[in-house]
Structure 1
Amino acid sequence: MVDAALISGLLSNLLPLINDEFSLFWSFENEVQKLSSTLSSISAVLEDAERKNVREKDKQTKDWLRKLKHVAYEVRDIMDECNFEDLRLQVKSRNASSSTRLQVSNLITHPFSNIKTRLKIGHKIKDVQEKLNQISSERKKLHLRESIHDSKKLHCLECIQDSKEDKFTSSWRETVSRSSNQVYGRDKEKKEIIGILVNNTSRVGVSKELSVLPLVGFGGLGKTTLAQMVFNDDEVSKHCDTKIWVCVSDEFDIKLVIKSILELKEEACLEELQKKVIDKLKGKRYLIVLDDVWNENVEAWDQLRSILDCGSNGAFVLLTTRKRNVAEIMETIQHVALSSLSEDDCWLLFKDRAFVHGKPKSTNFISIGKEIARKCKGVPLVAKTLGSQLGSKKSDETEWIRIRDSEIWEISQNENSILSILRLSYYDLPYHLRRCFVFCAIFPKDIEIKKERLIQLWMAHGLIPIVKNQEVEDVGNTI
């Protein structure tokens, strides 16, 4: 996928460098001014291009963005070539004999006095300018408009308090066993699962087949939340000798799962880990939650199950997965397929987030909110996200109406549609924050990122806006 936000970051980084670096080379002053001017005019329409590319799936806009990205990297390559030539001459000057030093010094003052080098770079700049002219012409045919940013959004960073965290994690799916949020509409499923768990003691002696119950449903339905409810229930706590929560995620590694069960950080071979986990679980009635399982490797699961199958009668594994095939591979008890919330429960969840600071100023917000909640189609993640988003705009009825009437609702009910609906929140971000957010996609899932390193990368790509009387690092720290 070609992302306009990343292209915008590339261009915003290129523009000042073009003026700073190429201005050294007097031979190309006019060409550089044209190049910079064309890139600036193209950059101004990128937000509109992103909107068309993502919302409207416009193929022509996608192709236009792809061509623009390629040309932007060509400009970058020319700049790198200029820098290399400059460094080469500097090295040559340091190594030159006194009899040739003056000659080399003149080359540094005018690096492209070498006719061959100057013609080569000149042809490349001309070629890139012709391509950009063509791209600029196509921009007009696509009817891309320059963005007029809301002044409040452009200056919102000045109002944000400095973050005090030294680091954050990109692992948005790394879950924990407790949730402080109010849960609506899952009491029936909770009661059903707890009933299966506490009554699963009919077998005599040590289990020959570990009891495994999967919770299945697409992303955003609340599988993890339901598992948390079961995990923290008093009846379950009294029933089990020990409880363990493991976030598995998309990389299924037996050693990592076992180390999580053992709360072990140091390295150890699988044989040693197996002995330790048996020592910990043997003869106990335990509950292990394996959250967010994607693995479809039958042999890997059989190996893990054989290691875990050492508990007493009633030992239990509860897992959550989006994939029915995973559930069918792992289950020993018929899986529970999560359904959507009712309209009433979805409204309660939305209202809990949207009106968290008090009652709305008028009944209009209630009627509009109910229409939005109805369009969430019973998906808790969508209701929570939009409720939280609109909660910060509780006095802006126009914004509520804009969300309610957005064309993005006109989609089918499936997991991809959930992601499309959540883009409403993405588009509500100021443009510079979208670029910073999209940049984080370069990091692997569940990896821990040092905050300082991320800010440095944002700075290197020109993604952090300039705020009066603030250092760039300080501005990045507030994002």
Structure 2
Amino acid sequence: MAELVATMVVGPLLSIVKEKASSYLLDQYKVMKGMEEQHEILMRKLPAILDIITDAEQAAAHREGAAAWLQAVKKVAYEANEVFDEFKYEALRREAKRKGHYKELGFDVVKLFPTHNRFVFHNRMGRKLCKIVQAIEVLVTEMNAFGFKYQQQPPVSSQLRRTDHAIADPEEIKEIINESRANDKTEIVSRLVVQGNNESLTVIPIVGMGGLGKTTFAQVIYNVPEIQKHFDLLLWVCVSDNFDVDSLATRIVEAAPEKKDDGTKETAPKKKDDGTKETAPKKKKTPLDKLQDLVSGQRYLLVLDDVWNKEVYKWKQLKARLQHGGMGSVVLATTRDGGVADIMRTVEAYNLTALKDQYIKEIIETTAFSHFKKEEERSAELVNMVDKIVGRCSGSPLAATALGSMLSTKTSKEEWETVLSRSSICTEENGILPILKLSYNDLSSRMKQCFAFCAIFPKDHKIDVDKLIQLWIAHDLIQEKQVRLETIGKQIFNELASRSFFQDVEQVQATVKELEDSWSCYSRTTCKIHDLMHDVALSVMGKECVLATDEQGKIESVVATEETIPNTARHLFLSRKEPERKLNSSLENSSPAIQTLLCDGHTESSLQHLAKCSSLQAFQLCS
């Protein structure tokens, strides 16, 4: 069976364009005067495409031509979205002028467009609209050739049919996994404690296929009371794709409960000509110096989660400083790659095996039948099919949770058989990604769009749930007239979390620094995305999401390294280290249509060239 493709979602984006194109403001302030014919054509063609878009999205998973057509629709929809934003802006400007708010809003001084002359505006926007209409007409002709059919979709509110009591408790799933790993836990804890008399640094890699629960297992080890007492210092850092040595050293130091110094050291005082001592300037310590100072003389446990780096020299650089720790210090690394384990290990790596079928079955039953309070209420037909589902998971708790959560929305034998026919057995080559993509494809279009948007965040990023919902709202990904948008957003989030698209959902208290720097609330709900689920989101968004990494002077796309931001970029996440410098240097040579700009921290200087980002809809500081 070929690897399943995550469905590209275009429907919600087209709906946003249709909503903007039909805004009463456009008629009220006559901003489209002289363009009525093109406007009418567009208002006929957009619903025609929306009628068949669901069928097209499903066909794109196995038809290359349909996928290419959808990509073209998406591109035009983005362009149309920007055009109607300009129309809306002009309508609001005219409204402000008519109501006497023109001067107080600064329109008499600041001009976001080159001119407010109506003739110039009409000509410029007329050309843009004609280009959009021509592209739409071509797409409609191609659409008819593909023979896509209409599929009726239920409203968003009825798609969110689950309630809190019907969602499986994540803690219950964790308990099942922990029980299944009891022997593994005993073995690793014993290894860590035995190293207590070892003078040299011990590095133990934990190796296993993605989705086996390596991170969860490492967290269990990390929190064992015996381990907490045995080590003087415990540190946890998620590495993922970025193994920049200085950046990693900084993050390890920041993970410590207390900072040991201010990052400076004094050199020996010099004598002046008159014999008095001259105070020597303080020398700035490097990140590796700070790391060495942190671990020196301390018996520490450092967990490096999700390591991919195969550049030996980088690991040797880091290890040279880590070796200054006290007797019995240990690095515990999790990785999917046996080659990485061979580079890092000082003792034999620990291979985390698949969960036994009995535990996988328990996870599936807990999630799939979560809406039944008593076992006797479960359908005997469906219960008898669980063993077949177990065989699809190959011992992966994440696959079991994803499939079980998806099946919890299915109530008939026929629906379960459809899931079985579409799912393939997890293999070492493809891992569990096909099952996760199947779970994604089972979502409604609205939920697909909301989750795919999360590709903007780096892997292992702690996401503020309320801010995420506000971002969904800012991009019109949630449209509901009868219910508060925040309420629908929360329902969408809960549904996605119940299906394992989000994990580690927890209430956290704001630190003193966060309260001082960003006026944060005292507590907030945060979550993370499993790196395999993140891969699913990336497979949908492609090069629309770009991440500015911590590496000096580099702008990196989440799918390929770039020297500048690619023009395909729509959503940009800036890292904490001089984000404004990276953005300014990149935008100087490119003109991407950025819609979202997130900064993981504060900027020290101004963000230049933002005028190029005329479609910017959301700007947010994440930390």
Report the TM-score when normalising by structure 1.
0.76
Query: Which residue does the alignment assign to 1:14?
Result: 17
Sort the Cα spacing of 1:244 and 1:137 in 2 relative to 1 into closer, same or farther, 3 A: same
Match of 1:30 among 7, 13, 37: 37
Measured at CA, do residues 137 and 414 of structure 1 come closer, stay the same or move farther in structure 2, by a change above 3 Å?
Answer: farther
Once the two structures are TM-superposed, the CA of residue 182 in structure 1 deviates from its matched residue by 3.8
Correspondence 1:4-153 to 2 at 5 A: 4-5=8-9, 7-20=10-23, 22-23=26-27, 24=30, 25-53=32-60, 55-56=61-62, 58-79=63-84, 82=87, 114=119, 118=122, 121-150=125-154
2:222 corresponds to which of 227, 231, 253: 231
Aligned to 2:209: 218
Q: CA deviation at 1:80?
A: 5.1
Equivalent in 195, 198, 208 of residue 200 of structure 1:
195
Relative to structure 1, the CA distance from residue 333 to residue 148 in structure 2 (aligned partners, 3 Å threshold; closer, same or farther) is: same
Distance, in Å, in 1 between the alignment partners of 2:466 and 2:260 is 25
Give the helix-richer structure, 1 or 2: 1
SS of the residue corresponding to residue 152 of structure 2 reads: coil
Distance 1:241 1:472 in 2: 48
Deviations 1:236-264 (A, max 9, x none): 566x2446240323234111112213455
Matched, 1:293 2:294: no
SS, match of residue 261 in structure 1 = coil
Q: Distance in 1 between matches of 2:15 and 2:469?
A: 16
CA drift of 1:149 comes to 2.0
- Seen in structure 2, the aligned counterparts of structure 1 residues 455 and 346 have a Cα distance that, compared at 3 Å, is closer
Q: Deviations over 1:109-140 (max 9, x none)?
A: x986x4x7646644543443232122112112
Instruction: Quote the residue 1:369 is aligned against.
Output: 386
Question: Take 1:314 and 1:425, find their aligned partners in 2: how far apart are those partners?
Answer: 44
The DSSP-based 3-state class of the residue aligned with 2:440 is helix
CA contact (8 A) 1:259 1:273 kept: no
Deviates more, 1:455-464 or 1:263-272: 263-272
Q: 1:420, CA displacement in angstroms?
A: 1.6
In 2, distance between residues paired with 1:40 and 1:31?
A: 15
- Structure 1 residues 193 and 119: alpha-carbon distance in aligned structure 2, compared to 1, 3 A threshold: closer
Structure 2: which 5+ residue stretches go unaligned?
101-115, 165-172, 264-284, 493-623
Q: Is the 1:49–1:144 contact (alpha carbons within 8 Å) kept by the matching residues of 2? A: yes
Letter in 2 for 1:65: L
Q: Please, which runs of 5 or more residues in structure 1 have no aligned partner?
A: 95-109, 162-177
Moved more, 73-82 or 255-264: 73-82
In the alignment, structure 1 residue 475 sits paired with structure 2 residue 492: no
Change (3 A) 1:75 1:188: same
How much has 1:380 moved relative to structure 2? 1.8
**Cα distance in 2 for residues equivalent to 1:467 and 1:415:** 46
Shift of 1:188: 4.5
Closer/same/farther in 2, CA of residues 150 and 74 from structure 1, 3 Å limit? closer
1:432·1:465 contact (CA, 8 Å) conserved in 2? no
Q: Which residue of 1 aligns with 2:234?
A: 244
SS at structure 1 position matched to 2:255: helix
1:392 offset after TM fit, Å? Answer: 5.5
Identity of aligned residues (%): 32
Query: How far apart are residue 157 of structure 1 and its match?
Result: 4.9
Which of 293, 316, 319 is equivalent to 1:275?
293
* Distance of 1:267 and 1:429 partners within structure 2: 49
Residues 235 and 252 of structure 2 are in contact (CA less than 8 Å); yes or no, is this contact kept in structure 1?
A: no
Query: For 2:356 and 2:206, how far apart are their aligned partners in 1?
Result: 19
Give SS of 2:305's match.
Answer: strand
Higher RCO, 1 or 2 (CA under 8 Å, sep at least 6)?
1
Offset at residue 193 of structure 1 (A): 2.9
With over 3 angstroms needed to count, the CA separation of the structure-2 counterparts of 1:362 and 1:292, relative to structure 1, is: same
Bigger CA drift: 367-376 or 15-24?
15-24
Query: What's 2:445 paired with?
Result: 431
Structure 2 CA distance for partners of 1:431 and 1:87, relative to 1, 3 Å: closer
How far apart in 2 are the matches of 1:47 and 1:213?
48
How far does the alpha carbon of each residue in 1:293-349 deviate from its partner, in whole angstroms, 9 at most, with x for none? 233343443343333334454332221112223212211012123332333442233
- Cα 1:312–1:91 change in 2 (3 A) is closer
Structure 1 pair 219–121 and aligned structure 2 pair: CA distance change class (3 A)? same
Map 1:354-393 to 2 at 5 A: 354-355=368-369, 357-359=373-375, 361-391=378-408, 393=410
Report deviation, 1:88: 8.8
Q: Does the Cα contact within 8 Å between 1:369 and 1:400 map onto a contact in 2?
A: no
Equivalent residue number for residue 420 of structure 1: 434
Equivalent residues, number = 430
More strand by share: 2
Please identify, of 427-436 and 307-316, the stretch whose mean Cα deviation from structure 2 is larger: 307-316
The Cα shift of 1:426 comes to 1.7
2:273 aligns with none
Which residue of the other structure, out of 135, 154, 158, is the alignment partner of 1:155? 158
Mapping 1:426-465, distance limit 5 Å: 426-465=440-479
Structure-1 separation of matches of 2:485 and 2:340:
47
Supply the RMSD in Å over aligned alpha carbons.
Answer: 3.7
Q: Bigger CA drift: 320-329 or 365-374?
A: 320-329
TM-score by length of 2: 0.60
